[in-house]
Chain A
Amino acid sequence: MSTPTGTAGRTVTGTGRLLRFMLRRERLALPVWLVVIGALLGIQSRASQAIYDPAHLDQLRETLGSNAAFVALAGPRELIATIGGEVLFEIFGYVLIMVALMNMFLVGRNSRADEETGRAELIRSTRVGRRAPLLAALLLACLSNVAVAVVLAAVGIGTGLPVWGSVVCGLATAGAGVFFAALAGVAMQVFDHTRAAYGAVAIAIGATYLLRAAGDVALTPLAWLSPIGWSQRTLPYVENRLWPLAVPVVTGALLTVAAVALLDRRDFGPRARHRLPGAADAPGPGLAPAPRARHRVAGRAVPGEPHLRLLLP
């Protein structure tokens, strides 16, 4: 007889091995994400440094910053105070969306999607705890976010931007990633199918982008409701503040706890609530097979279908 605490410890058995396996599975996809995200920063960094003169950034802030449409698409106008800030003003939102998507796919593919296809059965029939696949997927996402931070910092420094600003840029991006990984972890428990969960998380990513757009254009407090806004508020290369990242870290931890609680309360595989019977027959004459057509196939007289006729004896 094992005690309840002994059992709880066993729910995470195998997490480390699963994490290693997930890294192996993602050995191609993960580097692609890192290269694309790094390239986005690298290209913009080179471009902005070639085009803009640091002495005239005030002027740029006046013209770009007063264009509401531009600010809605890009980032907070406070960023246009240094060249590094100008780089992020243009691309930070897109980098954060990409990292959010990366986290969503990493968590989904390595947790719920396996359950849906039946692959998780094979895994869970071994000495693997109930919570291990989800925790391993979240750890995988966290490791990937660390890698993103390292890549962004390296690209920033490598293209000649200030060191500390580049590090803050990497950490701010990783912070948003952690939040979205945990959010995806919750969505994977709430929805029956991975695709539905992806849809919900994608809508959430879109909503956070709109919130921060509204915040950047006019109503600053709204940006503080947006996980993308939190990371942008670190203002890398300008203010270089880390404290806004406490928000995604704390909410990410809370969401992780919620995901585990939901996981504990649900059955393996799709839930029952959605197993309502569907239609047994095709509705209407248009979709149901016409009796005549069936007869023709049986009689082998299918005009214009020579390959089909060949298949029939």
Chain B
Amino acid sequence: MPAIAVSGLVKTFGRTRALDGLDLTVEEGEVHGFLGPNGSGKTTTIRILLGLLRADAGTVRVLGGDPWRDAVALHGRMAYVPGDVMLWPGITGGEVIDLIGSLRGGLDRRRRDELLERFDLDPRKKARTYSKGNRQKVALVAALASNAELLLLDEPTSGLDPLMEAEFQRCVQELRQEGRTILLSSHILAEVEALCDRVSIIRHGRTVESGSLADLRLLTRTSVTVETVEPIVGIETLPGVHDAVVNHTHARFSVDTEHLDAVLRRLTELRVRSLVCTPPTLEDLFLRHYETTKQVTA
């Protein structure tokens, strides 16, 4: 049974259709990247998964329950970090962490203190003195110190410095080893690439791509820069080769990943002197969807 199973999810706010048939499956024990441009519906989806908003249509199951109806029961097994953490000015960070812990029904004291140390957060300071990054850390420590099976992280590292970002990544790796499930909405592609087993990319409230990073790479092109001993001829006519720039024994082109093998065979016949193959980055995948978004909205 998947930890999150969403299909055909629709949510409208007045005239705006925030979610328009969104599908999302997060298997138990995986770290799932949730990507999409600003305003594509990521936060709305997470709010529905938390039972804060009621879906207009579609089915939503979280940990086998209905997030709207069974919200309180499910929340004992879930933790959440919002992208923009707001706290109460006169309350200290430590108090907030304990409050959230006690409201959820328990907090691992030892782990809480260890995380405070790792994130270099002073829990005795009033929230009004915290920077954005420190407020973010408060919510992160509260979530990571819980025993939640499922963590919903909505751009959790916004405002963190690179050192803390690295610490966050280590924490997520540890949670993964413990078998917890994490839905990670993020704009930091390096973070998603480093942490996620599978990703879903959404746009305009719909899922446009979903799968493992390896699967998604198959859908895109690999960039190849090659130097051979024998002159390169006819490479641009091979199936799957695009944007070829051939200069005698040098060539630069991109190739559909499914045709990579055939192209490499042809190149080795020409006796390869040097070869650089760059797999598509997540950024390429991402931009492919984002750029069409831009054209649509422009």
Contact = CB atoms under 8 A, between A and B. Distances in A.
Interface of A: 2, 7, 10-11, 13-14, 17-18, 21, 24-25, 28, 117-119, 121-130, 267-269, 272-273, 275-276
Contact of B52 (A14, A18, A21, A121): A121
Contacts of B88: 25, 119
A121 B82 contact: yes
Q: List the 3 closest pairs (A to B, CB-CB), nearest first.
A: A272-B14, A125-B80, A272-B13
B69 interface: yes
Given A2-B69, A122-B139, 6 more contacts: A2-B70, A17-B102, A25-B90, A118-B86, A122-B82, A275-B16
B166 interface: no
Interface stretch (B28-36, B71-79, B206-214): B71-79
B180 to A, nearest CB: 16
Contacts, number: 90
Contacts of B72: 10-11, 13-14, 127-129
Contacts of A272: 12-14, 16
Given A13-B72, A25-B91, A273 B103 contact: no
Nearest to B75: A127
B22 to A, nearest CB: 17
Interface string B91-111: 100011001101111000000
A308 B187 CA distance: 33
Contacts of A14: 72, 103
A130 B86 contact: no
Contacts of A21: 99
Nearest to A109: B88
Contact of A273 (B14, B73, B78, B152): B14
Interface string B127-161: 00000000000010010000000001000000000
B129 to A, nearest CB: 16
Nearest to A29: B90
B41 to A, nearest CB: 14
Contacts of B69: 2, 7
Contacts of A275: 13-14, 16
Interface in B22-78: 47, 50, 52-54, 69-73, 75-76, 78
B226 to A, nearest CB: 42
A128 B104 CA distance: 8
B104 A122 contact: no
Contacts of B103: 14, 17-18, 123, 126-128
A25 B96 CA distance: 11
B197 interface: no
A119 B52 contact: no
Contacts of B99: 17, 21
A127 B86 contact: no
A183 B84 CA distance: 31
A127 B47 contact: no
Nearest to A130: B71
Contacts of B100: 122-123, 126
B282 interface: no
11 contacts: A2-B73, A10-B73, A11-B72, A14-B103, A119-B88, A121-B47, A121-B50, A125-B50, A127-B75, A269-B52, A273-B14
A267 B104 contact: no
B235 interface: no
A25 B92 CA distance: 11
Contact of B90 (A10, A28, A122, A268): A28
Contacts of A121: 47, 50, 52, 80, 82
B105 A127 contact: yes
A23 to B, nearest CB: 12
A18 B104 CA distance: 12
A263 B82 CA distance: 23
Contacts of A127: 72-73, 75-76, 103-105
